[in-house]
Amino acid sequence: MKLNREQLIASVKEQMPEKRWLHTLGVMETSIQLAERFGSDPVKAELAAILHDVCKYWRVDEQARIIRENSLPQDLLDYDKELWHAHAGAWVARTEYGVDDEEVLDAIRYHTSGRERMTLLDKVVCLADYMEPGRDYPGVHMIREIAEHNLERALLAGFDGTIRLLLDRGKRIYPLTVLARNGLVVELNELMETNEQ
Protein backbone atom coordinates (compact mmCIF):
# COMPACT_ATOMS: atom_id res chain seq x y z
CA MET A 1 0.00 0.00 0.00
CA LYS A 2 1.53 3.31 -1.06
CA LEU A 3 0.50 6.14 1.26
CA ASN A 4 1.24 9.83 0.96
CA ARG A 5 3.39 11.47 3.67
CA GLU A 6 0.45 12.48 5.88
CA GLN A 7 -1.20 9.07 5.66
CA LEU A 8 2.09 7.36 6.41
CA ILE A 9 2.66 9.56 9.45
CA ALA A 10 -0.88 8.88 10.72
CA SER A 11 -0.46 5.13 10.28
CA VAL A 12 2.93 4.95 12.03
CA LYS A 13 1.75 7.19 14.87
CA GLU A 14 -1.12 4.79 15.56
CA GLN A 15 1.28 1.94 16.23
CA MET A 16 3.16 3.40 19.17
CA PRO A 17 2.57 5.20 22.45
CA GLU A 18 2.58 9.01 22.43
CA LYS A 19 6.09 9.20 23.91
CA ARG A 20 7.61 7.05 21.18
CA TRP A 21 5.79 9.12 18.56
CA LEU A 22 7.36 12.29 19.99
CA HIS A 23 10.75 10.54 19.71
CA THR A 24 9.98 9.73 16.06
CA LEU A 25 9.08 13.39 15.40
CA GLY A 26 12.43 14.34 16.95
CA VAL A 27 14.31 11.86 14.76
CA MET A 28 12.49 13.22 11.66
CA GLU A 29 13.47 16.79 12.44
CA THR A 30 17.06 15.90 13.37
CA SER A 31 17.53 13.60 10.35
CA ILE A 32 16.53 16.44 8.01
CA GLN A 33 18.95 18.83 9.73
CA LEU A 34 21.84 16.35 9.64
CA ALA A 35 21.11 15.42 6.02
CA GLU A 36 21.26 19.08 5.04
CA ARG A 37 24.40 19.68 7.11
CA PHE A 38 26.35 16.70 5.74
CA GLY A 39 25.04 16.48 2.17
CA SER A 40 22.63 13.55 2.34
CA ASP A 41 19.09 13.54 0.91
CA PRO A 42 16.68 15.13 3.44
CA VAL A 43 13.58 13.57 1.84
CA LYS A 44 15.01 10.06 2.13
CA ALA A 45 16.28 10.83 5.62
CA GLU A 46 12.84 11.92 6.75
CA LEU A 47 11.14 8.86 5.24
CA ALA A 48 13.58 6.51 6.99
CA ALA A 49 13.08 8.45 10.24
CA ILE A 50 9.27 8.21 10.06
CA LEU A 51 9.48 4.43 9.75
CA HIS A 52 12.62 3.65 11.77
CA ASP A 53 10.79 2.50 14.93
CA VAL A 54 7.54 1.44 13.25
CA CYS A 55 7.40 -1.95 14.96
CA LYS A 56 9.32 -1.11 18.15
CA TYR A 57 6.10 -1.63 20.12
CA TRP A 58 4.85 -4.66 18.28
CA ARG A 59 4.91 -7.83 20.33
CA VAL A 60 8.41 -9.30 20.41
CA ASP A 61 7.15 -12.68 19.26
CA GLU A 62 5.72 -10.97 16.18
CA GLN A 63 9.09 -9.26 15.54
CA ALA A 64 10.82 -12.64 15.95
CA ARG A 65 8.33 -14.27 13.58
CA ILE A 66 9.08 -11.69 10.87
CA ILE A 67 12.80 -12.39 11.27
CA ARG A 68 12.32 -16.17 11.19
CA GLU A 69 9.89 -16.37 8.29
CA ASN A 70 11.48 -13.90 5.91
CA SER A 71 15.11 -15.00 5.92
CA LEU A 72 16.28 -11.96 7.85
CA PRO A 73 19.57 -12.52 9.75
CA GLN A 74 18.76 -15.38 12.11
CA ASP A 75 21.66 -14.57 14.45
CA LEU A 76 19.68 -11.50 15.60
CA LEU A 77 17.48 -13.87 17.57
CA ASP A 78 20.49 -14.84 19.73
CA TYR A 79 21.10 -11.21 20.69
CA ASP A 80 19.18 -8.50 22.55
CA LYS A 81 15.52 -8.11 21.51
CA GLU A 82 16.14 -4.35 21.14
CA LEU A 83 17.91 -5.17 17.87
CA TRP A 84 14.95 -6.90 16.25
CA HIS A 85 12.67 -3.95 15.50
CA ALA A 86 15.17 -2.42 13.08
CA HIS A 87 15.37 -5.41 10.72
CA ALA A 88 11.69 -6.25 11.16
CA GLY A 89 10.90 -2.56 10.57
CA ALA A 90 12.69 -2.50 7.22
CA TRP A 91 10.70 -5.56 6.17
CA VAL A 92 7.45 -3.87 7.25
CA ALA A 93 8.43 -0.67 5.42
CA ARG A 94 8.88 -2.67 2.23
CA THR A 95 5.96 -5.05 2.42
CA GLU A 96 3.31 -3.01 4.22
CA TYR A 97 4.22 0.53 3.20
CA GLY A 98 5.61 -0.12 -0.28
CA VAL A 99 8.98 1.55 0.33
CA ASP A 100 11.24 0.32 -2.45
CA ASP A 101 14.23 2.62 -2.06
CA GLU A 102 17.04 0.32 -0.89
CA GLU A 103 18.96 3.21 0.66
CA VAL A 104 15.98 4.12 2.83
CA LEU A 105 15.35 0.48 3.72
CA ASP A 106 19.03 0.05 4.73
CA ALA A 107 18.90 3.16 6.92
CA ILE A 108 15.91 1.66 8.76
CA ARG A 109 17.48 -1.81 8.88
CA TYR A 110 20.78 -0.68 10.37
CA HIS A 111 19.60 2.20 12.56
CA THR A 112 20.17 0.23 15.77
CA SER A 113 23.18 -2.00 15.11
CA GLY A 114 24.96 0.03 12.47
CA ARG A 115 27.07 -1.93 9.96
CA GLU A 116 30.61 -2.02 8.66
CA ARG A 117 30.39 0.40 5.75
CA MET A 118 27.60 2.73 6.71
CA THR A 119 26.25 4.99 3.97
CA LEU A 120 25.82 8.69 4.59
CA LEU A 121 22.09 8.10 4.99
CA ASP A 122 22.65 5.22 7.47
CA LYS A 123 24.85 7.52 9.54
CA VAL A 124 22.41 10.43 9.47
CA VAL A 125 19.43 8.38 10.69
CA CYS A 126 21.46 6.46 13.27
CA LEU A 127 22.97 9.64 14.70
CA ALA A 128 19.59 11.44 14.68
CA ASP A 129 18.26 8.53 16.75
CA TYR A 130 21.07 9.11 19.27
CA MET A 131 20.65 12.88 19.56
CA GLU A 132 17.07 13.97 18.76
CA PRO A 133 15.91 16.73 21.15
CA GLY A 134 13.97 14.32 23.39
CA ARG A 135 17.03 12.19 24.19
CA ASP A 136 18.46 12.76 27.64
CA TYR A 137 21.38 10.66 28.85
CA PRO A 138 24.91 11.41 30.03
CA GLY A 139 26.97 12.32 27.00
CA VAL A 140 24.14 13.44 24.71
CA HIS A 141 25.18 17.12 24.89
CA MET A 142 28.68 16.19 23.82
CA ILE A 143 27.32 14.16 20.89
CA ARG A 144 25.15 17.13 19.78
CA GLU A 145 28.18 19.43 19.95
CA ILE A 146 30.40 17.11 17.92
CA ALA A 147 27.55 16.68 15.41
CA GLU A 148 27.74 20.40 14.66
CA HIS A 149 30.78 19.67 12.52
CA ASN A 150 31.67 15.95 12.41
CA LEU A 151 29.14 13.23 11.57
CA GLU A 152 31.48 10.26 11.95
CA ARG A 153 33.01 11.43 15.21
CA ALA A 154 29.59 12.09 16.73
CA LEU A 155 28.27 8.69 15.66
CA LEU A 156 31.41 7.02 17.02
CA ALA A 157 30.73 8.66 20.39
CA GLY A 158 27.20 7.26 20.19
CA PHE A 159 28.32 3.68 19.46
CA ASP A 160 31.07 3.90 22.09
CA GLY A 161 28.43 4.85 24.66
CA THR A 162 26.18 1.94 23.67
CA ILE A 163 29.07 -0.53 23.69
CA ARG A 164 30.18 0.73 27.12
CA LEU A 165 26.63 0.31 28.42
CA LEU A 166 26.42 -3.24 27.09
CA LEU A 167 29.82 -4.09 28.61
CA ASP A 168 28.79 -2.64 31.99
CA ARG A 169 25.61 -4.71 31.93
CA GLY A 170 27.50 -7.88 31.02
CA LYS A 171 25.58 -8.16 27.74
CA ARG A 172 26.82 -9.41 24.41
CA ILE A 173 27.51 -6.98 21.58
CA TYR A 174 26.04 -7.72 18.17
CA PRO A 175 29.01 -8.12 15.79
CA LEU A 176 27.71 -5.49 13.33
CA THR A 177 27.96 -2.88 16.08
CA VAL A 178 31.64 -3.71 16.59
CA LEU A 179 32.19 -3.59 12.81
CA ALA A 180 30.33 -0.26 12.59
CA ARG A 181 32.45 1.20 15.38
CA ASN A 182 35.71 -0.05 13.87
CA GLY A 183 34.65 1.20 10.44
CA LEU A 184 34.14 4.71 11.79
CA VAL A 185 37.57 4.66 13.47
CA VAL A 186 39.18 3.68 10.15
CA GLU A 187 37.26 6.39 8.28
CA LEU A 188 38.29 9.03 10.81
CA ASN A 189 41.96 7.95 10.66
CA GLU A 190 41.89 8.09 6.86
CA LEU A 191 40.37 11.57 6.99
CA MET A 192 43.13 12.74 9.36
CA GLU A 193 45.84 11.33 7.10
CA THR A 194 44.37 13.08 4.07
CA ASN A 195 44.22 16.35 5.99
CA GLU A 196 47.87 16.00 7.02
CA GLN A 197 49.08 15.64 3.44
Sites of contact with ligand DGI (CB under 6 A): 23, 53, 56, 79-80, 82-83, 86, 111-113, 129, 162, 166, 173-174, 177
Q: In the 8-state DSSP scheme, what is residue 178?
A: H
Q: Does 53 bind Fe ion (CB under 5 A)?
A: yes
The interface with Fe ion within residues 107-166 (CB under 5 A) comprises 129
The answer to whether the beta carbons of residues 88 and 58 sit under 8 Å apart is: yes
Task: Provide the minimum distance between the beta carbon of 59 and Fe ion in the complex, in angstroms, as a whole number.
Answer: 16
Whose Cβ is closer to ligand DGI: residue 132's or residue 187's?
132
Least Å from the CB of residue 174 to ligand DGI = 3
User: 102-118 in b/e burial notation, b at 16+ Cβ within 10 A?
Assistant: ebbbbbbbbbbbbbeeb
- 46 near Fe ion (CB under 5 A): no
Rg, Å, the chain Cα set: 16
Q: CB 126 → ligand DGI: shortest distance, Å?
A: 7
Helix axis angle, 84-95 to 42-51, nearest 10°: 110
Choose between 4 and 78: whose C-beta lies nearer to ligand DGI: 78
Residue 74 Cβ vs ligand DGI, minimum distance, rounded to whole Å: 15
CA 139 to chain centre: 18
CB of 36 to ligand DGI, least distance (A): 22
Residue 187 CB neighbour total at 10 angstroms: 18
A 10 A CB-CB count for 10 gives 11
Q: What letter would DSSP give residue 172?
A: -
- Between 64 and 166, CB nearer to ligand DGI: 166
Nearer to Fe ion, 129 or 152 (CB): 129
Which chain residues interact with Fe ion by CB under 5 A?
A: 53, 129
